[in-house]
Amino acid sequence: MFDLAFRALIHGLYFFALACLIKLLRALWKRPFPTNAPKLVSGYPVVGALQFFFTQNEFCRSSKANSPTGNYSYYLGQHQVIGLCGTQGRKTFFESRDLDLGQGASLLVPFVNLVENPQDPSVDTHLSHLHYIFRTRLLRTQSLQFIPAAIEMCTTATLNRITDKGLIDPFQEMTLFYAQSTMAVMGVSEVALSPELSSKVSKLFGAMDGTFHVSDMAIPWLLNPLHIPTLISLGQLWVMLWQIISKQRKLGQQKQPSTRDPAKENMLQDMIEKGWSTRAIFKANSPTVASWILMWLTTDPQWMARVRQEIEQVIDKHREKGEPAEDVLRSLHVNTWEHEFPLLRACMLEAVRLVVTLVLIRKNISAVDIPIGNTGEVIPPGTYVTYDAREVTRDPNVYPDPQRWDPGRFLPDREEHLKEVLASTGFGGGRHKCRECVSPGHCRSGLTRL
């Protein structure tokens, strides 16, 4: 019996070593770029452009400087990648319909397509399907009206917690509020109403940040021991939400349609009734920017006073019969929040400009070359494309004194972000708007901080 087990172990190690060898040989071979691709940046065997992983900003700047057009080609492992720069590169990156967000993210976030086949848009876990559902359920209906009421208890609990503590860590408090409010909007009340479960969910999401390692270029992620903590966190989160979804599904089956209260319906119950799979519901679920806004306002008395005055003016405008300020804010329509707080919006855009220092990534999912403006260069089919947002968000010709926090840049009398095409590359820029930011350093739609 012992000999049999020993032989099985030896054979297992043999096949593991063989798999690693095959993977290494495949990594050593790289599909060549076409002659009309941007200039190639030299790299190392197997891993390719190693500098990209460690000094990302310097890699992008030096590669741009050494290319006649500013665009450049490089390898990450055996994957072809093209870095885009300048106005034409930026327009191509943000406006091309054939550059896909979800499949782009799969290069640097190996778990992004774990529960779906990215090539099959018919399944309910596919990004395009989820985007359509959420647009029709939220953005193109009156369903957004339920959000203030849904997150009211979370907001009140957060404010009470901040009041009790006095001195707070805004990143910790905003992360917890983000987890609670997200679950409240989704209808996962068991998590939204429990500080303990909300804290656990926020920690599990945080544990899945930064899952990409240089070793992924040579070792399949399923065999990479560095991913074990992430797999454990992913499994714990899956089990927790699967239990909640199963409970909701059973309760929904027990109710008669005539006994349901439309005012208490939620997105989770709606998805269950429409037959969504557990995988789709799970996949449908950044406090960092909000945390930095709090810190900058605290250290800038002038802007703090202006923002407070704006809030007071909105309260006075919508107040009825001497209502307390907190009741007025609770009753505001979503359109009011979106259109009557221009100073708060300017603060958010400026925080995004300074905080979200990302390399954005997409993939050419078409079967043809995509021209890069009129440079004569192209993006071949199946090639990944990156764009360093710092190129424009830290450009002093667009944003004078770019390291300084100044929300006035985005107000009508200055509008510095309109000096260049797509000069504001934060969430919502370009043809593909970001709807999937899930945690402080990571966004599933292809924005990844390394």
* Location of structure tokens 């390692």: 213
Phi, psi of 18 (to 5 degrees): -65, -40
Distance (Å, rounded) from C-alpha 216 to C-alpha 107? 10
Distance (Å, rounded) from C-alpha 248 to C-alpha 242? 10
Distance (Å, rounded) from C-alpha 180 to C-alpha 199? 8
* Overall residue count recorded for the chain in this entry: 450
Nearest Cα to Cα of residue 244 among 183, 292, 332: 183
Nearest Cα to Cα of residue 59 among 91, 35, 81, 37: 81
Residue 109 burial (10 A CB sphere; 0-12, 13-18, 19+): buried
The answer to whether the beta carbons of residues 421 and 87 sit under 8 Å apart is: yes
Residue 39 burial (10 A CB sphere; 0-12, 13-18, 19+): middle
CA distances to 44, 67, 390, 391 from 61, rounded to whole Å, are: 19, 10, 10, 8
The answer to whether the beta carbons of residues 377 and 71 sit under 8 Å apart is: yes
Two tokens at 365? Answer: 């999912």
Is 434 annotated to bind a ligand? Reply is: yes
The answer to whether the beta carbons of residues 254 and 273 sit under 8 Å apart is: no
Sequence ranges of the binding site: 434
Sequence ranges of the binding site for heme: 434
